[in-house]
């Protein structure tokens, strides 16, 4: 084997090895595509097989001299495969580029969908808050009526002849309370509780040694919470220490 043939074989082997590496990489990228790239993968597989055949031929004849005709044939084949591989690489890049654009578009669609979902949630929240606002106004209008009914019950109980009336009004108040509670209205606990400036409103302060200072000893007007929001603080009388009543 002359030096020229040896150098050509070495060059062919290097070119084939490099082309094989590129073909394997491109083939792996093609593997990701199931639809459009399926046919492309078959063509690349053909290129890989042909390159592997040439590689095997060069390996098997490394100790034998290859004729100029064989070397020319190998050279022509390698050049053709190189051109085909370059063409397939360009086609693959275009397909992958299109895939990238599609993914970008899909990402934008997902972003828009998320924005729309957020808008729907905000709209639903605003709708609920507005409905709650209307309901709060209605409940606030009902509370004085319920107060008056409870006061009427208290006065009627002092009259021994009004037992039937008391029971009727008590039933009405009970039904009204149940209706409001079903919507989220809760009475604020006050009597016997420590004074809470966020839930109680001091109507008067009274010296009382039987209770700790600043303890609610009497509810003058009931307070209510609607869905964790204080609608009306309880009007309360609280205990203080001293030697005389302090009227606020």
Please say whether the dihedral angle defined by the alpha carbons of residues 207, 209, 214 and 220, taken in this order, is positive or negative.
Answer: negative
Q: Classify residue 117 by burial, with Cβ atoms within 10 Å: 0-12, 13-18, 19+.
A: exposed
With a cut of 70, say whether residue 74 has pLDDT above it.
yes
Q: Which CA distances in Å does 220 have to 151, 191, 203, 216?
A: 11, 10, 8, 10
With a cut of 80, say whether residue 226 has pLDDT above it.
yes
Residue pair 45/81 in contact (Cβ under 8 Å)? The answer is: no
Label residue 95 by pLDDT band (50, 70, 90): low
With a cut of 70, say whether residue 170 has pLDDT above it.
yes
With a cut of 60, say whether residue 31 has pLDDT above it.
no
With a cut of 90, say whether residue 200 has pLDDT above it.
yes
What is the model's pLDDT at position 248? 44
How far is residue 115's CA from residue 155's CA, in Å, rounded to a whole number?
A: 59
With a cut of 50, say whether residue 245 has pLDDT above it.
no
User: What percent of the chain has a predicted confidence (pLDDT) above 70?
Assistant: 70
How far is residue 223's CA from residue 216's CA, in Å, rounded to a whole number?
A: 13
Contacts of 149 (CB under 8 A, 6+ apart): 169, 172, 173, 176
Strand partners, 239: 206
What is the model's pLDDT at position 78? 80
How far is residue 48's CA from residue 85's CA, in Å, rounded to a whole number?
A: 9
With a cut of 50, say whether residue 146 has pLDDT above it.
yes
How far is residue 31's CA from residue 50's CA, in Å, rounded to a whole number?
A: 19
Its pTM stands at 0.43
Number of continuous H segments (helices) and E segments (strands) in the chain? 4, 6
- Look over the chain and give the mean of its residue pLDDT values, rounded to a whole number: 76
Nearest to 30 by CA among 106, 109, 96: 96
Mean pLDDT value across residues 149-156? 77
With a cut of 50, say whether residue 213 has pLDDT above it.
yes
DSSP state of 230: E
What is the model's pLDDT at position 194? 92
Which range is least confidently modeled, 102-116, 167-181, 223-237? 102-116
Label residue 27 by pLDDT band (50, 70, 90): low
How far is residue 220's CA from residue 45's CA, in Å, rounded to a whole number?
A: 91
């Amino acid at each position: 084997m002359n030096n020229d043939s040896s150098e050509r074989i070495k060059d062919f082997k290097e070119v084939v090895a490099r082309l094989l590496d590129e073909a394997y990489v491109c083939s792996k990228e093609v593997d990701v595509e199931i639809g459009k790239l399926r046919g492309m993968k078959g063509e690349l597989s053909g290129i890989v097989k042909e390159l592997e055949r040439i590689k095997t031929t060069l390996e098997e004849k490394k100790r034998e001299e290859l004729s100029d005709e064989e070397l020319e044939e190998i050279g022509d084949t390698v050049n053709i495969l190189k051109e085909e591989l370059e063409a397939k690489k360009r086609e693959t890049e275009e397909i992958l580029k299109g895939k990238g654009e599609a993914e970008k578009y899909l990402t934008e669609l997902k972003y828009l969908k998320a924005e729309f979902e957020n808008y729907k949630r905000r709209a639903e929240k605003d709708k609920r808050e507005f409905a709650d606002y209307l309901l709060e106004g209605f409940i606030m209008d009902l509370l004085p009526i319920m107060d008056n009914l409870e006061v009427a019950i208290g006065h009627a109980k002092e009259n021994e002849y009004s037992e039937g009336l008391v029971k009727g009004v008590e039933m009405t108040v009970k039904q009204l309370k149940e209706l409001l509670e079903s919507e989220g209205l809760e009475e604020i606990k006050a009597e016997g509780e420590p004074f809470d400036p966020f839930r109680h409103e001091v109507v008067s302060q009274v010296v009382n040694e039987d209770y700790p200072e600043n303890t609610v000893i009497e509810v003058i007007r009931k307070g209510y919470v609607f869905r964790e929001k204080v609608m009306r603080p309880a009007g309360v009388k609280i205990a203080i220490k001293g030697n005389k009543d302090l009227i606020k």
